[in-house]
Amino acid sequence: MERIASFCVDHTTLMSGMYLSRQDGEVRTWDVRMKRPNQGDYLSPAAAHTIEHLFATYARNSRWSDHVVYVGPMGCLTGFYLLTQGMTDAEALELTTDAFAWMAEYDGPIPGASETECGNYRLMDPDAARKECGVMLAVLRQLDADHLRYQK
């Protein structure tokens, strides 16, 4: 089998940030990398699950909701994938920055965190999620839309 594109990225040099991971026709996959890979500092499963619920809810209720295809966690617990269509780099960055600003301050019930809505609804840590989102927000605010590509 062929190696998939995300395995071709040098994870030894990858920093926290936001990167265009791939483009398949109109669909763009964004790597929202919250943690440096393989450094021993990962998102806890409960924080990642909480961020997944919040990020997806925010994105699908934003003004770009019709352009959001998917939001989901990376299995390695270092970040999230955001799949969009019909958005510029600047719009994808704005959506992500706005979502992380909202999540860093959010102190309400976690959307979809009930037995009838989620397969593991007890695995939530809103405090850790807020903290992680605040750290990532600082990273996102340093980025500009002209530099959302992996370094070669």
Report the pLDDT value the prediction gives residue 151, as an integer from 0 to 100: 81
Eight-state DSSP code of residue 36: -
pLDDT digits 0-9 by tens, 51-67: 999 999 999 999 999 99
Report the pLDDT value the prediction gives residue 8, as an integer from 0 to 100: 79
**What's the longest Cα–Cα distance across the chain?**
45
Domain ranges of the chain: 14-142
Strands in 68-73's sheet, in edge-to-edge order, are 17-24, 27-33, 79-85, 68-73
Residues 6+ apart with CB under 8 A from 84: 27, 28, 30, 64, 67, 68, 69, 92, 95
Mean of per-residue pLDDT scores for the chain: 96
- CA distances for 120 relative to 29, 49, 56, 131, angstroms: 26, 9, 16, 21
Enter the tokens of residue 11.
């994870």
Eight-state DSSP code of residue 109: P
Domain 14-142 sits in CATH at 3.30.1360.80
Report the pLDDT value the prediction gives residue 7, as an integer from 0 to 100: 82
pLDDT digits 0-9 by tens, 106-124: 999 999 999 999 999 999 9
Report the pLDDT value the prediction gives residue 10, as an integer from 0 to 100: 83
Mean pLDDT by 10 residues, the chain (152 residues): 82 94 96 97 98 98 98 97 98 98 98 98 98 98 95 74
